[in-house]
């Protein structure tokens, strides 16, 4: 497509192109960091009800000491153990793109109206056409000193239904008038051990990406992130935050009651989303590059797995996207639950994290009381 | 207390005594099976809002190869590794009793009415007094050939509020008139590898305990169990079933629309609950006694941990008790989440369980299509 045509392209086309490009860039960055590890597994899929996607997933071979054993491995199996000489950087990770469309039933419209005030009323019994494009990623490194990271960038549209004629085979890309649209996303860091310089670097990189688009963006979305990634039954946040935003469009926004200092046209908002999307690699890869080589002991691995248990608790009990996905008939479960760690651990009344003066307790203090990093 | 006084005791006193006695019996049975393992940790607690309980929890020392490691243990730590010579039978387990009372807010009453048709209307703004006594257990053995088991036996009461005078210090045990009451419970087995003889023994023992109390009980509660322990997003049951029952009282029951062949007085229902409670040890311990010595390879351990991931998914996403507990302010989170396994595993698009002719696939077939075992 020539450059001059760009301005005529629809937002859905531009977002689709962007998320696939970002996916390539992110996956390449991880593969470059650990060139001798197995590549991410690329896996394109088509949704029967409309749309398609591409999963890029990293998984360690199960033989590489990646799970507990009660007995020693028979000699014939232990030959495939790869991780003793040099450890693989990632334990599990996925960078997924999905671009889907279909009819949103009235019940789903009704539910989404709670978080999206531009959503039309669910008047038509047969529902309304929707379009959703997004990139979603979760990376769980092996080393307990390297933090888990999550990011998501998404665009959503509700349109008027198109008539049979308009929607004929000659014009498969034709779409009805856009009734509602918004962008959402963000990224956040979940360390098992707190390195303040990592937290500062992560937040600073994202804040710098937000700044040209409005001075209120980072503080507003940082606060929203701390609120969203909170585990009520543990009275702690999932991690040390980042940014979270949703429902960004040209209309009024609950988080910006009085501010006009924010992107509000579709082009301005998309430029902001690209800016934070592009900041993902520089916000995280330098941290991983340093921490993945740290020496660690089993005590630290144990704590990492306990923290992964909390990650599972948040994702299965509270995360909106996961809950919505699990309830959606025909949803791709493997993609939805890709966010879960390879291994998680639960101990009854564990003393880890409670003993004063320990590194584990130092992290817990920050999770109990979110901090301003910059 | 003398025998002659038994008939004058209230149901809550009788249930309380029973669940504590059953707890002792069950914990003793596990400790007798593995006398050199650490004992269950007894932990009595008091609930600020009213009531108390006793947790009996088993946890392997974390040093005993019970979690994955990316690097080898430093020599100074590996001396405490106990499990290399003879493996400990259990990996994690809890047998908990709680006897609690307090005021049930109108919102909670309203929610409980969905499953309990004898529940009074939430008319009083300040709520209604409730009493709940129960035993709840989950046992996760170490050996992949030994199944996980869960059981629960509980009694619930809603009473009229008592006046200040009646509830004075002189008569602390006084209670208002019972407005509604019911028993619930059951037990179910979750193997990683299917041994048909184990499934038959488990179901037969429970069925025999049900039979004297009504011929419809086992078939009705077996079906209910398969329905309850179902993971919709996986299209599979959590395990190979057992029995599940709830809302048993003298009134009409949705699962017995036409049958009178069931216990219906408080004494009859309590006798039934004791009968199935007493059947727990003979239904499960003989299975564990055989399977815990099986030789296994890492492939089988890996499958066990994947199945534990499904256990976590069911408990956090669907289990009524867990969800209710997580939403209850002041609930004892450690007791609620005691049911989670020590370690669980998730793989993206795992081939395990899908390959025809394997033992893993043989289990999956039964989880996709529950079977009549007796």
Using one digit for the tens of pLDDT, what is the confidence trace for B205-214? 999 999 999 9
* pLDDT value of residue B265: 95
Q: Which has the higher per-residue pLDDT, A143 or B323?
A: A143
Integer angstrom CA distances of residue B163 from B51, B167, B171, B287, B358 = 20, 6, 12, 52, 65
Domain contains A140: yes
**B109-123, B178-192, B249-263, B344-358: the lowest-pLDDT one:** B109-123
**A266-275, B78-87, B241-250: the lowest-pLDDT one:** B78-87
Which DSSP letter does residue A245 get? E
Domain contains A267: yes
State the total domains in chain B: 1
Contacts of A297 in chain B (CB under 8 A): 71, 73-74, 77
Among A46-55, A124-133, B361-370, name the most confident range: B361-370
Tokens of A129: 């056409």
* pLDDT value of residue B122: 74
* pLDDT value of residue B38: 92
Are A134 and A323 in contact by the 8 Å Cβ rule? The answer is no
Which DSSP letter does residue A162 get? P
Pairwise CB contact (< 8 Å): B298 & A63: yes
Phi-psi region of B112 (alpha: psi -120 to 50; beta: other; left: phi over 0): alpha
Q: Is A114 on the interface with B (CB under 8 A)?
A: no
Integer angstrom CA distances of residue A174 from A53, A167, A169, A170 = 20, 6, 10, 9
Q: Give me the mean pLDDT over the B349-373 stretch.
A: 96
Half-sphere exposure of B308 (CA within 13 A, CB side): 34
Determine the distance from the C-alpha atom of residue B148 to the mean position of all C-alpha atoms in its chain, rounded to a whole number: 11
CA distance A55 to chain B (A): 10
Q: Give me the mean pLDDT over the B193-200 stretch.
A: 98
Nearest Cα residue in chain B from A84: B71
> Please, which pLDDT band fits residue B7 given cuts at 50, 70 and 90?
low
Q: Give me the mean pLDDT over the A205-230 stretch.
A: 97
Cα gap B101→B158, rounded to integer Å: 10
Between B41, B70, B87, which is nearest A301 by CB?
B70
CA distance B224 to chain A (A): 22
Between A57, A301, A312, which is nearest B68 by CB?
A301
Pairwise CB contact (< 8 Å): B301 & A234: no
* pLDDT value of residue B328: 73
Integer angstrom CA distances of residue A181 from A117, A229, A237, B17 = 10, 24, 30, 60
Does the pLDDT of residue B6 top 70, yes or no? no
Pairwise CB contact (< 8 Å): A343 & B345: yes
Contacts of B95 in chain A (CB under 8 A): none
Does the pLDDT of residue B178 top 50, yes or no? yes
* pLDDT value of residue B110: 81
Does the pLDDT of residue A67 top 50, yes or no? no
Q: Which has the higher per-residue pLDDT, A172 or A23?
A: A23
Angle CA B347–B352–B353, to nearest 5? 125
* pLDDT value of residue A312: 98
Cα gap B321→A372, rounded to integer Å: 37
Interface with B, mutate which of A67, A146, A312 (most B CBs under 10 A): A67
What residues does A134 pair with on adjacent strands?
Answer: A98, A154
What residues does B85 pair with on adjacent strands?
Answer: none
Domain contains A4: no
* pLDDT value of residue A242: 98
Domain contains A63: no
* pLDDT value of residue A70: 37
> Could you give the ipTM of this predicted complex?
0.88
Q: Give me the mean pLDDT over the A114-133 stretch.
A: 83
Does the pLDDT of residue B65 top 70, yes or no? no
* pLDDT value of residue A7: 59
Contacts of B55 in chain A (CB under 8 A): 348
Task: State the residue range of the domain holding B364.
Answer: 11-58+88-161+176-368
pLDDT tens-digit profile of B23-47?
Answer: 999 999 999 999 999 999 998 988 8
pLDDT tens-digit profile of B99-146?
Answer: 988 888 887 788 788 778 788 877 777 888 999 999 999 999 999 999
Helices and strands (H and E) in chain A: how many: 11, 10
C-alpha closest to that of A119 among A90, A157, A172, A145: A157
> Please, which pLDDT band fits residue A327 given cuts at 50, 70 and 90?
confident
Pairwise CB contact (< 8 Å): B346 & A92: yes
Determine the distance from the C-alpha atom of residue B107 to the mean position of all C-alpha atoms in its chain, rounded to a whole number: 25
Interface of A with B in 316-345 (CB under 8 A): 316-317, 326, 331, 333-334, 336-338, 340-345
Tokens of B63: 């040093």
* pLDDT value of residue A169: 52
**A40-49, A355-364, B295-304, B356-365: the lowest-pLDDT one:** A40-49
Interface with B, mutate which of A345, A353, A360 (most B CBs under 10 A): A345
Interface of B with A in 33-92 (CB under 8 A): 41, 43, 55, 57, 59, 62-63, 65-74, 77, 83-84, 87, 92
Q: Which residue has the tokens 């919709």?
A: B232
Q: Which has the higher per-residue pLDDT, B71 or A51?
A: A51
Does the pLDDT of residue B66 top 70, yes or no? no
> Please, which pLDDT band fits residue A125 given cuts at 50, 70 and 90?
confident
* pLDDT value of residue A86: 66
Q: Give me the mean pLDDT over the B38-64 stretch.
A: 84
Phi-psi region of B368 (alpha: psi -120 to 50; beta: other; left: phi over 0): alpha
Q: Give me the mean pLDDT over the A155-171 stretch.
A: 71
Contacts of A331 in chain B (CB under 8 A): 233
Nearest Cα residue in chain B from A297: B73
* pLDDT value of residue A315: 97
Pairwise CB contact (< 8 Å): A301 & B69: yes
Q: Give me the mean pLDDT over the A149-160 stretch.
A: 95
Selected catalytic residue, list B150, B201, B203, B292: B150
Pairwise CB contact (< 8 Å): A341 & B346: yes
Angle CA B4–B9–B15, to nearest 5? 120
- What share of chain A in percent tops pLDDT 90? 67
Domain contains A283: yes
> Please, which pLDDT band fits residue A165 given cuts at 50, 70 and 90?
low
DSSP string computed for A92-103? EEEEEEEEEEEE
Domain contains B218: yes
Pairwise CB contact (< 8 Å): B66 & A68: yes
* pLDDT value of residue A288: 98
Q: Give me the mean pLDDT over the A151-158 stretch.
A: 95
Q: Is B297 on the interface with A (CB under 8 A)?
A: yes
pLDDT tens-digit profile of A283-314?
Answer: 999 999 999 999 999 999 999 999 999 999 99
Close Cβ partners of A268 (under 8 Å, ≥ 6 residues apart): A213
Q: Give me the mean pLDDT over the A103-114 stretch.
A: 81
Between B74, B232, B337, which is nearest A346 by CB?
B337
pLDDT tens-digit profile of B344-353?
Answer: 999 998 999 9
Contacts of B232 in chain A (CB under 8 A): 326
Between B71, B142, B299, which is nearest A87 by CB?
B71
pLDDT tens-digit profile of A70-86?
Answer: 333 333 333 333 334 46
Q: Is B226 on the interface with A (CB under 8 A)?
A: no
3-class SS string, chain B: CCHHHHHHCCHHHHHHHHHHHHHHHHHHHHHHHCCCCCCCEEEEEECCCCEEEEEEEEECCCCCCCCCCCCCCCHHHHCCCCCCCCCCCEEEEEEEEEEEEEEECHHHHHHHHCCCCCCCCCCCCCCEEEEEEEEEEEEEECCCCCCEEEEEEEEEEEECCCCCCCCCCCCCCCCCCEEEEEEEEEEEEECCCCCHHHHHHHHHHHHHHHHHHCCCHHHHHHHHHHHHCEEHHHCEECCCCEEEEEEECCCCCCCCCCCCCCCCCHHHHHHHHHHHHHCHHHHHHHHHHHHCCCCCCHHHHHHHHHHHHHHHHHHHHCCHHHHHHHHCCCCCHHHHHHHCCCEEECCCCCCCCCCCCCHHHHHHHHHHCCCCCC
> Please, which pLDDT band fits residue A112 given cuts at 50, 70 and 90?
confident
* pLDDT value of residue B261: 86
Domain contains A70: no
Pairwise CB contact (< 8 Å): A340 & B326: no
Does the pLDDT of residue A237 top 60, yes or no? yes
Does the pLDDT of residue A22 top 90, yes or no? yes
Contacts of B346 in chain A (CB under 8 A): 92, 337, 340-342, 344
Mean pLDDT of chain A: 87
Interface with A, mutate which of B71, B310, B323 (most A CBs under 10 A): B71
Are A151 and A134 in contact by the 8 Å Cβ rule? The answer is no
Does the pLDDT of residue B203 top 50, yes or no? yes
End-to-end alpha carbon distance in chain B: 41
Cα gap B301→B84, rounded to integer Å: 16
Q: Which has the higher per-residue pLDDT, B143 or B73?
A: B143
> Please, which pLDDT band fits residue A65 given cuts at 50, 70 and 90?
very low
- Assess whether B150 carries a catalytic annotation: yes
* pLDDT value of residue B281: 98
Domain contains B66: no
Q: How long a stretch of residues is chain B?
A: 374
Q: Which has the higher per-residue pLDDT, B261 or B310?
A: B310
Does the pLDDT of residue A97 top 50, yes or no? yes
Interface of A with B in 186-215 (CB under 8 A): none
Q: Give me the mean pLDDT over the A274-284 stretch.
A: 98
**CATH at residue A289:** 3.40.1500.10
C-alpha closest to that of B149 among B242, B36, B272, B37: B242
Are B183 and B273 in contact by the 8 Å Cβ rule? The answer is yes
> Please, which pLDDT band fits residue B158 given cuts at 50, 70 and 90?
very high
Interface with B, mutate which of A58, A59, A62 (most B CBs under 10 A): A62
Phi-psi region of A349 (alpha: psi -120 to 50; beta: other; left: phi over 0): left
C-alpha closest to that of A155 among A173, A172, A136, A132: A132
């Amino acid at each position: 497509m020539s450059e001059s045509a760009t301005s005529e392209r629809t937002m859905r086309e531009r977002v689709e192109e962007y998320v696939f490009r970002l996916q390539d860039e992110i996956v390449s960055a991880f593969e470059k960091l650990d060139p001798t590890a197995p590549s991410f597994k690329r896996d394109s899929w088509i949704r029967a009800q409309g749309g398609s996607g591409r999963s890029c997933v990293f998984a360690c071979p199960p033989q590489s000491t990646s799970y507990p054993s009660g007995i020693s491995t028979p000699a014939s199996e232990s030959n495939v153990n790869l991780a003793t000489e040099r450890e693989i950087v990632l334990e599990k990770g996925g960078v997924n793109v999905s671009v889907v469309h279909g009819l949103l039933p009235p019940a789903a419209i009704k539910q989404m109206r709670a978080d999206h005030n531009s959503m039309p009323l669910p008047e038509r019994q047969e529902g309304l056409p929707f379009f959703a494009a997004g990139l979603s990623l979760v990376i769980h490194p092996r080393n307990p000193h390297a933090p888990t990271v999550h990011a998501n960038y998404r665009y959503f549209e509700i349109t008027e239904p198109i008539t049979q004629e308009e929607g004929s085979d000659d014009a498969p890309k034709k779409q009805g008038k856009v009734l509602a649209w918004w962008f959402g996303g963000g990224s956040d860091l979940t360390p098992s051990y707190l390195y303040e310089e990592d937290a500062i670097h992560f937040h600073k990189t994202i804040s710098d990406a937000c700044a040209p688009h409005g001075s209120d963006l980072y503080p507003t979305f940082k606060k929203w992130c701390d609120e969203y990634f909170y585990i009520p039954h543990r009275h702690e946040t999932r991690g040390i935050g980042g940014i979270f935003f949703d429902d960004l469009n040209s209309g009024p926004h609950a988080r910006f009651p009085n501010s006009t200092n924010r992107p509000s046209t579709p082009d301005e908002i998309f430029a902001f989303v690209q800016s934070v999307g592009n900041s993902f690699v520089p916000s995280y890869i330098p941290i991983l590059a340093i921490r993945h080589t740290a020496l660690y002991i089993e005590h630290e691995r144990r704590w990492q797995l306990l923290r992964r248990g909390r990650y599972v608790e948040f994702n299965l009990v509270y995360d909106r996207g996961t809950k919505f996905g699990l309830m959606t008939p025909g949803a791709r479960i493997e993609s939805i639950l890709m966010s879960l760690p390879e291994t998680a651990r639960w101990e009854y009344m564990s003393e880890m994290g409670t003993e004063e003066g320990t590194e584990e307790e130092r992290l817990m203090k920050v999770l109990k009381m979110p901090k301003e990093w910059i």
